[in-house]
A and B are shown apart, each in its own frame.
Chain A
Amino acid sequence: MIEVIFLITIIVSIYMAWNIGANDAANSMATSYGSGALTLKQIIIIAGILEFSGAFFFGSRVTKTVGKGIVPIELLDPHIIAIGALAAIFSAGLWITIATYYHLPVSTSHSIVGAMLGFGLATVSEDLIPLEAIKWGVLNKIVMSWILSPLTGAILAFMIFSVIRITILSRMDVERVEQIFRYLQVFTACYVAFAHGSNDVANAVGPVSATFGFSETPSWILALGGLGIAIGIATWGYRVIETVGKRITELTPTRGFSAEFATATTVLSASYLGMPISTTHTLVGSVLGVGFAGGLASVDISVVKRIIYSWLLTIPVAAGLTISIYTVLVVFL
């Protein structure tokens, strides 16, 4: 029985990875398409390779946090963990699908963390573990990282663009500067894809890794997540890249470079610290940073409000869904 649950969990994880590739990775890459730095085909190839590399080589820390850092799996038996992992990934996947349908700026990272919290709370309600056993300290850190990451992105992007503006844009011909940054943006596009893969793969494979207990997460799981993301970009993400890219042509290479560099640096640092943050929110923060530095004709800060609402909605919804699904599964399995 546990093998079947595990297999289903893997399948849902791949769906989640696909979804992350189709939407989140695509949004990060759209900045390179909008500025005309790369063609759609080049982006799909670059993103596919580097998302996979990021996930495979640098994805284990965040995966560990999601899988083993929130729910005290050392206190639970493998059967319960298997059910909980399935409930968590299924809820997060379902919520992301619904949110995507309604164009809500929901984060996959927030969803999976909310879902894992729901799993933890479900086991508490079953008296399997005490409430204090849930790793609240880690959760606190994660929430802090959610607040700090868009801010860091904004501040970094503000500084990077200001430096470009003062030292280069004000002295050289704009068109030439943009031309040079078009090449540099190839580098930041790779950087973003790598960083994104390293952080977001956990949102897909974190729960699966929990089923392995405290032994190291096998690398084939990370590879599977990375592959799912790459396939997501190639099969659906390219449409998202086109749609989003066409709407953000204002992000010229200098602006795109600044936003991407700031985002990738923030996200990769979070990956290093094992914090599952939202790349999309960080990117929004970075674009706002460029806007505040006078780089864009107009940015709309009302988007911040909508992000905060989606945030506050995602945690209880993902947790609630997980508790419900877990309860049903426990009865039948």
Chain B
Amino acid sequence: MRFIRSIADVFGYSPFKAIHQHSEYIVLAADLLIDQYEAFLAGDEDKIVALEKEIDTLEHEADKIKGEIRTHVTKSLRLPVDRQDLLTFLTFQDEIINYIEHICHMFTYRKIENMEKIVEKKFRQLLYMINDIICKYEELIDHVMTLIATSFSKKEIADIMVMVNTIEHVEHECDKVQIELHKLLLNSKMDTLDIILLRNILIHLGEIANSTARASDSFRTMVVGR
């Protein structure tokens, strides 16, 4: 519209909605990873590849959001949180979906037959725990808009502390399952190449949990260190 002078330019780009959207992609990708694991067990190669593509696309979309945030959060913006803290936090959040994407490719590397039942069960358990930690994480990030609406009220910050603690607790539980699985795998009678692949997947699953905990930790730092 011509012939207008506007004060709207004083309002800068707000990255918070985009950050939450990015976290939603992580939830979607983690969901699909469970489906892909089931397809992997069933030996349904078409489904494995289809899900690989879907997760890959989600990762790519998340990358675009990350890029958008990085380009728009310029130095002239004054955000209610430290800009550097925010960018560091974003890097950690982006790592989560990167690890999910790595794993979705691994399921296509090799077909595993005759997986030991206990290994199969433990992997499923770990995947569901990871799904859980990621859902909790998304809830945490969802709080960012309320945080801004209340202008970082003490109650909101206290809620966030509790949520981060829960996430760290689940991460610890994931670690335990990961250790059990390592022991199982390295002492199993399965094919060596199968073990190598599963161990690789296992390590990356652990990294999903770790990076989720790291991201929530840096989220806490960002919120507290204003």
| Chain B residues closer than 8 Å to A292, beta-carbon distance | 78
| Chain A residues closer than 8 Å to B78, beta-carbon distance | 288, 291-292, 298-301
Q: Would A243 and B7 count as touching, CB distance under 8 A?
A: no
Q: Would B77 and A300 count as touching, CB distance under 8 A?
A: yes
Q: Would B80 and A294 count as touching, CB distance under 8 A?
A: yes
In the assembled complex, the CB of A244 is this many whole angstroms from the nearest CB of chain B, namely 5
In the assembled complex, the CB of A177 is this many whole angstroms from the nearest CB of chain B, namely 9
Greatest chain B CB density within 10 A among A22, A99, A283, A294 is at: A294
Q: Would A280 and B13 count as touching, CB distance under 8 A?
A: no
Q: Would A297 and B79 count as touching, CB distance under 8 A?
A: yes
Q: Would A294 and B151 count as touching, CB distance under 8 A?
A: yes
In the complex, whether A295 has a CB less than 8 A from a CB of chain B is yes
Q: Would B5 and A288 count as touching, CB distance under 8 A?
A: no
Given contacts A27-B6, A297-B79, contact A247 B151 (CB under 8 A): no
In the complex, whether A101 has a CB less than 8 A from a CB of chain B is yes
Q: Would B7 and A283 count as touching, CB distance under 8 A?
A: yes
Q: Would B76 and A301 count as touching, CB distance under 8 A?
A: yes
Bound: A297/B4 CA distance, A? 25
B8-20 CB mask vs A (1 if < 8 Å, else 0) is 1111111110000
The binding surface of chain B is classed by DSSP as loop
| Chain A residues closer than 8 Å to B146, beta-carbon distance | 174
Bound: A250/B150 CA distance, A? 13
Range, interface on chain B: 20 to 34
In the assembled complex, the CB of A284 is this many whole angstroms from the nearest CB of chain B, namely 5
In the complex, whether A13 has a CB less than 8 A from a CB of chain B is no
Segment touching B, from A39-47, A102-110, A134-142, A198-206:
A102-110
Given contacts A299-B77, A299-B78, contact A240 B6 (CB under 8 A): yes
Q: Would A294 and B226 count as touching, CB distance under 8 A?
A: yes
Q: Would B149 and A300 count as touching, CB distance under 8 A?
A: no
Given contacts A101-B2, A170-B155, contact A298 B12 (CB under 8 A): yes
| Chain A residues closer than 8 Å to B203, beta-carbon distance | none
Closest to A254 in B: B151
In the complex, whether B3 has a CB less than 8 A from a CB of chain A is yes
Greatest chain B CB density within 10 A among A99, A170, A297 is at: A297
Bound: A244/B8 CA distance, A? 6
Chain B contacts to A: CB under 8 angstroms = 1-16, 74, 76-80, 146, 148-155, 226
A–B complex contacts, Cβ < 8 Å, 17 sampled: A23-B4, A27-B6, A103-B6, A165-B153, A174-B149, A239-B1, A243-B6, A252-B149, A287-B10, A288-B10, A291-B78, A292-B78, A293-B151, A297-B79, A297-B80, A299-B11, A302-B74
Chain A contacts to B: CB under 8 angstroms = 22-24, 27, 30, 97, 99-101, 103-106, 161, 165, 169-170, 174, 236, 239-240, 243-244, 247-248, 250-252, 280, 283-284, 287-288, 291-303, 306
